[in-house]
Amino acid sequence: MRISEILHRLYRLVAVVLLVTVPQIIAQQQHSTLQADRKVVVPARPSWENTPTNEATALPVSPREKVLRQNRSDSFNNTLGIAPRLEDIAKNGGGVGRSVDGLYVPPFPDSAAVVIGSVLSAQSHLSTDHTAIYTELKVQIEKILKDNTASLVPEGSAYILERGGSVNLNGHILHYPASDGLDLIDVGKRYMLFLYTKPAVLESFGVRKAWLLDQNHPRPAGAYRAGGDDVAPYVTMTESEFTSYVERAIQAHSTR
């Protein structure tokens, strides 16, 4: 291969890299500026994301628990079968970057269930193929506003599965960050939760929208723009006013 051809290919490679990286850098700078201009409120990351739980001491006991754990762990496997194991990433000094879910979710999305409850505990586990970590969040149900699943019980509990968490595996700490752009709930806090159902074999839910109930007022559990039209009417309500408003909205939707 002639030197001119080598230089030409090298020039094309550099051009492609610049075309990919420069717009990303500019977009990140613009995002930071827009975040400041729009007064975006970004909640703290959930405690369970970086609080290791011991995989060895969290083994299921009964046959039913073993089947349920296997189903849940299988559901977080890498579907393409090409992702490296977290142990190998940590061994090589690498890490896993956060994924971003930028889909807009309305304040009161259509959901299989809507409940008020407190997060009692969080337990992280490895997926079966060790390419991801997921966290089981146990929620104590205080009030049921809607339940199309007919599976929830007042004063009972429900499990929510989230991708992300931290695990102590044989003395090695493995991390997997939760996705940005989601409403992430945390231990010790009360929420109004708009839930969707996971596959039946997982016996769990996912969060479509979460409102933190704190100091007698609601506020979004995910990032939001202070003063935004989809937030401002509700954050000034008391918890009781907010709950009544949502109950009326659910009733109006169900009678259409």
What average pLDDT does the segment 115-126 reach? 97
State what percent of residues in the chain have pLDDT above 70: 84
The pLDDT of 203-228, averaged and rounded, is 94
Q: Are 151 and 144 in contact (CB under 8 A)?
A: no
Q: Give the residue among 42, 44, 45 at the shortest CA–CA distance from 166.
A: 45
Average pLDDT in the chain:
85
Highest mean pLDDT among 31-35, 50-54, 73-77, 101-105: 73-77
- Tell me the three state secondary structure of residue 99: coil
**10 pLDDT exceeds 60?**
no
The mean pLDDT of 112-117, rounded to a whole number, is: 98
The residue ranges of every structural domain in the chain are: 1-29, 46-254
SS3 33: helix
pLDDT tens, 135-150? 999 999 999 999 999 9
Residue 176: burial class (beta carbons within 10 Å; 0-12, 13-18, 19+): buried
CB-CB contact of 43 with 222 (8 Å): yes
Local confidence band at 17 (pLDDT 50, 70, 90 cut-offs): very low
Question: Alpha helix locations (H) across the chain?
Answer: 3-37, 63-75, 86-91, 232-235, 239-254
Distance CA 191, CA 165 (A): 20
Q: How far is residue 50's CA from residue 2's CA, in Å, rounded to a whole number?
A: 53
pLDDT band at 181 (very low <50, low <70, confident <90, very high): confident
Provide the terminal-to-terminal Cα distance of the chain, rounded to the nearest Å. 72
Please give the average per-residue pLDDT across 205-233, as a whole number: 93
Under CATH, to which class is 46-254 assigned?
mainly beta
Largest CA distance in the chain: 77
pLDDT category at 3 given cuts 50, 70, 90 is low
